[in-house]
């Protein structure tokens, strides 16, 4: 698990003064990009090697609200990975009161530059090993 912090920006809030729900998906991407870079599978490096990883699905469960200037810790981990598809899970905590504000998952696949499915176990064992080692933590 890797933690990432995001401070809620004013523009992320709506007329009610709370964070608009769509921003949580953006925060998930920020946290996921940070997570993958920290485990040695940064998007920039993978893309240089012709590997892309689109989002297949996103699921969010909103538990509490956040507002401008709240600091959110996003705990990110790989839930499932078998080489072709990967599920990432997120837990978002508001640090001023340690309340869970959102739990979420995103599912991804791996494709080559021609948008053909790519199994990392066969095509890039190094990335495969880095990602599967994260499942054991």
Using one digit for the tens of pLDDT, what is the confidence trace for 27-42? 999 999 999 999 999 9
Element (DSSP H or E) covering residue 46: helix 43-48
Q: Rounded to an integer, what distance in angstroms lies between the CA atom of residue 11 and that of residue 23?
A: 10
C-alpha to C-alpha distances, 135 to 17, 85, 97, 105, 130, nearest whole angstrom: 38, 13, 29, 15, 9
Task: Determine whether 14 is an active site residue.
Answer: yes
Helix, strand and coil in the chain, % to nearest 5: 30, 40, 30
Q: Rounded to an integer, what distance in angstroms lies between the CA atom of residue 41 and that of residue 126?
A: 9
Using one digit for the tens of pLDDT, what is the confidence trace for 88-121? 999 999 999 999 999 999 999 999 999 999 999 9
**Residue 32 contacts residue 88 (beta carbons within 8 Å):** yes
List of domains in the chain? 2-135 (3.10.129.10)
pTM for the model stands at: 0.92
**Residue 94 contacts residue 101 (beta carbons within 8 Å):** yes
Query: Which residue of the set 14, 44, 70, 97 is catalytic?
Result: 14
Using one digit for the tens of pLDDT, what is the confidence trace for 109-118? 999 999 999 9
Per the structure block, which two tokens stand in for 95? 């640090």
């Amino acid at each position: 698990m890797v933690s990432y912090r995001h401070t809620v920006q004013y523009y992320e809030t709506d007329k009610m003064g709370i964070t608009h729900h769509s921003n949580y998906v953006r925060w998930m991407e920020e946290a996921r990009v940070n997570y993958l870079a920290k485990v040695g599978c940064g998007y920039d490096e993978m893309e240089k090697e012709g590997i892309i990883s689109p989002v297949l699905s996103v699921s969010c469960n909103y538990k509490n609200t956040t507002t401008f200037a709240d600091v959110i810790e996003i705990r990110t981990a790989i839930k499932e990975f078998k080489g072709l598809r990967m599920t990432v899970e997120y837990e978002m905590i508001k640090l001023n009161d340690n309340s869970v504000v959102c739990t979420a998952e995103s599912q991804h696949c791996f494709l080559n530059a021609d948008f053909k499915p790519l199994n990392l176990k066969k095509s890039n064992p190094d990335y495969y090993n880095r990602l599967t080692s994260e499942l054991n933590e």
